[in-house]
Amino acid sequence: MEKRKMEKLGIETSLLGFGCMRFPVTAGGKIDESLAEKMMDQAIAAGVNYIDTAYPYHGGESETFVGKVLKKYDRNSFYLATKLPCWKVNEIADVDTIFQEQLGKLQTEYIDFYLLHALDKERFHKMVELGTVKKLEELKAQGKIKYLGFSFHDSYDVFEEIVNYRDWDFCQIQLNYMDANEREEFQQAGMKGYRLTEEKGIPLVIMEPVKGGSLAAFPEDITAKYRALDPEASVASFALRWVGSLPNVKVILSGMSTMEQVEDNLKTFSDFKPLSEKERQTIDEVVALINSRIQNGCTGCSYCMPCPAGVDIPRNFRIWNVYHMYRNYNMVKDRWENGLAEENKAKNCIKCGKCEKVCPQKLSIREDLERVQADLDKKEFII
């Protein structure tokens, strides 16, 4: 198993981390505990020593299950990561209440890697104002937390503010070869965030290395490019190796749902090879091809909003562009069918033209909204 040294912390972690957000589930939606335990056991036997869970995963059941499985292992043989659900903290007493609950569920006396979960600008400022960070520092001083960090979902400017707020032990960001090459207005921390952590010596844990599975299932034209490089390698393995080729990446989280995914990941990380120049070039070609399928140049600036008819114009365009980029309806199915209310969909456009008068990109918004509805109603691209 590939290991990485966190020089700042003086420890060594497995490059592959077991993400406990996507365990297999039963027909009733509960964790399939028998299969999930076998998956964890196999990963740990192969050398995986970083286990990542969180308060809300699997409806709050992930921590309890993980605690039960890990109880049979020597506590010094693995690193356990979980997260403070910042959205549940409304007064400083909540931190202690939640933390003690997590220790109980995980059946442990301490957490190795403790994160403020899913920080954005508003949430970070609230945590600072409530004194949450200071409280967590006290728990660290008591030995109940070994390393304090955060996971992040916002723009680079916010990331820079949080990184510079204190001397963090580590942090967790979303990064993959598509996020790193998206237009800057769509990025979160991105490669600028990576370079900042490298400059400051902050070890990085990476989430969504396969972009929620979207970099594991492609149409044949892209799949063939990867097959030509190595017919025995999975498409997902190239995304994982792209992230792992970055030296300040210390752990890559993979939320595994099947034993096959565990086995494939163990194959990738047990004989880990950084990308070759030819493989990098192929990934650059794939990125260029995916980006060439963007349907319009909407930047999400929202100058077109609010729409008199209630259409969420930027959101419709974002879903539409992603649908065409990956040519996979399943990637946007939930966002289109459940995440976007019927009254906010493109079909409600009344063609008043108000949006086009203020669009900096001079987009043909009315025409494009017609195409959005027609394309997504057809559901043409199914992988």
Say which residue the tokens 């990308």 belong to: 275
Question: How deeply is 124 buried, as exposed, middle or buried, from its count of CB atoms within 10 A (0-12, 13-18, 19+)?
Answer: buried
Please provide residue 195's backbone torsions phi and psi, each rounded to the nearest 5 degrees.
-65, -35
Say which residue the tokens 């740990």 belong to: 44
Residue-level pLDDT at 374: 95
Residue-level pLDDT at 180: 81
* Pairwise CA distance, residues 89 & 309, whole Å: 37
CATH topology assigned to domain 3-285: TIM Barrel (3.20.20)
Rounded (5°) CA angle 240-166-94: 90
Residue-level pLDDT at 182: 59
Cβ atoms of 107 and 75 closer than 8 Å: no
SS3 79: strand
Q: What is the DSSP code (8-state) at residue 251?
A: E
CB atoms within 10 A of CB 28: 6
Q: Does residue 219 have a pLDDT over 90?
A: no
- What element of type H or E holds 155? none
Two structure tokens written together for 126: 């609230």
Residue-level pLDDT at 185: 46
In this predicted structure, which of 125-134, 275-284, 323-332, 357-366 has the lowest mean pLDDT? 323-332
**Sign of the alpha-carbon torsion through 380, 333, 184, 256:** negative
Cβ atoms of 172 and 115 closer than 8 Å: yes
**Sign of the alpha-carbon torsion through 322, 56, 4, 223:** negative
DSSP string, 173-234: EE--TTGGGS-GGG-SSHHHHHHHHHHHT--EEEE-TTGGGTTT---HHHHHHHHHH-TTS-
Cβ atoms of 158 and 120 closer than 8 Å: yes
CA 338 to chain centre: 20
Residue-level pLDDT at 156: 86
- For the chain, the domains span 3-285, 313-378
Residue-level pLDDT at 154: 82
Cβ atoms of 146 and 179 closer than 8 Å: no
pLDDT in tens, 139-179: 999 999 999 999 998 888 899 999 999 999 999 999 999 98
- What element of type H or E holds 315? helix 313-326
Give the burial string for 87-120 (b: 16+ CB within 10 Å, else e): eebeeeebbeebbeebbebbebebbbbbbbbbbb
Q: pLDDT band for position 241 (50/70/90)?
A: very high
- Residues 6 or more apart whose CB falls under 8 angstroms from that of 307 comprise 313, 349, 354, 355
SS3 26: coil
Q: Does residue 342 have a pLDDT over 70?
A: yes
Q: pLDDT band for position 76 (50/70/90)?
A: very high
pLDDT in tens, 177-205: 998 865 544 446 788 889 999 999 999 99
- Residues 6 or more apart whose CB falls under 8 angstroms from that of 127 comprise 86, 89, 116, 119, 133
Rounded (5°) CA angle 68-73-78: 100
